[in-house]
Amino acid sequence: MRAKITYFVLAALLLVYFLLVGGRGVALIRHGTAATVAFGVAVLVLPLIGLWFLWHSTLFAQRAGQLSKQLEEEGGLPVDELERTPSGRIDRASADAVFTRRQAETEEQPDDWRSWFRLAVAYHDAGDTPRARKAMQHAITLHRRP
């Protein structure tokens, strides 16, 4: 719940920032000289890119959350079996062992979104966020197929 609150607070702050920057871009365009119009248009592009990124990130998080909820209802969420250091960090060897099992599971069932979801969690636990995101996106795509 804390992560959701943090996400929405940061998203709201970003939206305020985008509005402020967008207002500056419009003001530059209204100034009317060739240089200020060009700069104003360039300034307006940044909030548009930011809005696009925020929208897609929100959709991704929402869809991943839906998969997590469904998997939890089915009793298929991965169990936290990772060993941790005294400071609470995930032990790398433990994460690698779980990852190896999840990867084998996914290779056996490449069209099962559940195995891709669990692989995404294993990538995340192993510290490979880009691959975790790609695996989760693949799980979402497989889940959405008719």
> What is the domain range of residue 17?
2-74
Q: pLDDT for 73-121, tens place per residue?
A: 999 888 888 888 888 888 888 888 899 999 999 999 999 999 999 999 9
Question: Which pLDDT does position 36 carry in this prediction?
Answer: 94
Residues 30 and 65 in one domain: yes
Residues 60 and 123 in one domain: no
Q: Is pLDDT at 59 greater than 80 in this prediction?
A: yes
Residues 19 and 60 in one domain: yes
Residues 8 and 68 in one domain: yes
Residues 133 and 100 in one domain: yes
Q: pLDDT for 11-33, tens place per residue?
A: 999 999 999 999 999 999 999 89
Residues 67 and 96 in one domain: no
| 125 part of a folded domain | yes
Closest CA to 136 of 49, 52, 54, 71: 71
Q: What is the mean pLDDT of the chain?
A: 92
| 15 part of a folded domain | yes
pTM: 0.80
Total of domains in the chain: 2
Residues 19 and 70 in one domain: yes
Which residues partner with 84 through β-bridges?
A: 90
| 86 part of a folded domain | no
Paired tokens of 141: 């795509």
Residues 60 and 124 in one domain: no
Residues 111 and 65 in one domain: no
Cα distance between the two ends of the chain:
31
Q: What is the DSSP string of 35-68?
A: HHHHHHHHHHHHHHHHHHHHHHHHHHHHHHHHHH
| 24 part of a folded domain | yes
Using pLDDT thresholds of 50, 70 and 90, give the confidence band for residue 1: confident
Instruction: Report in angstroms the alpha-carbon separations of 23 from 28, 29, 89.
Output: 9, 10, 44
| 87 part of a folded domain | no
